[in-house]
Amino acid sequence: MLNPALDPAAVDPAAAEPSPSTSAEKQKFAKTRFVANAGLAAGATYQWIVKPYREGKFKKGAKGRTFALIKAGLAGAFAYNRLKAAVVNAKGDPLLSKAVAPLTAGIESLKGLGSKLRKGNATDADLSSLQDVITGVKSAGQSAGAPVTDKVPSLSQLGG
């Protein structure tokens, strides 16, 4: 049996576990995760909210309106979730965290958007606010050397 005084795991259990990565790797992965999460949020927003909205699928009497609203509601909740994750990821990179910090209030303002969309209560202002936040996140990523491109999630990804 090992002497507990000589076993670092006995004194500090975390000491026995390998370090997940160096600080430079953490920053690199932070940017990668940020780009992935922000890209999914942007893609979901465009594919399931902006595009159908522009096509008039949310208007009363439009064919497929109910299904379009349900998808938009799921996409709104999904985008909010991915944007929140992107902000957490951004904290791992000093430049990215400074660029994204001013956007956190805008992201928080989107919290109820999913249910508004599902119920058909979203307004032009809500959609404009969503687009402004997505554009801001993309710009913040670009300025920090982490360009964000839209990545459309599948319907199964929206449902979680």
pLDDT by residue, tens only, the chain of 160 residues: 455 555 545 555 444 444 444 555 555 689 999 999 999 999 999 999 999 999 999 988 999 999 999 999 999 999 999 999 999 999 999 999 999 988 998 999 888 888 888 888 888 898 999 999 999 999 999 999 999 999 999 888 887 6
What's the whole-model pTM score?
0.79
For the segment 143-153, what is each residue's pLDDT rounded down to a tens digit? Answer: 999 999 999 99
For the segment 5-33, what is each residue's pLDDT rounded down to a tens digit? Answer: 555 455 554 444 444 445 555 556 899 99
Q: What is the DSSP string of 75-143?
A: HHHHHHHHHHHHHHHHTTSHHHHHHHGGGHHHHHTTTTHHHHHHHT---HHHHHHHHHHHHHHHHHHHH
Question: Cα–Cα distances in Å, from 57 out to 32, 54, 72, 113, 157?
Answer: 34, 8, 10, 17, 22
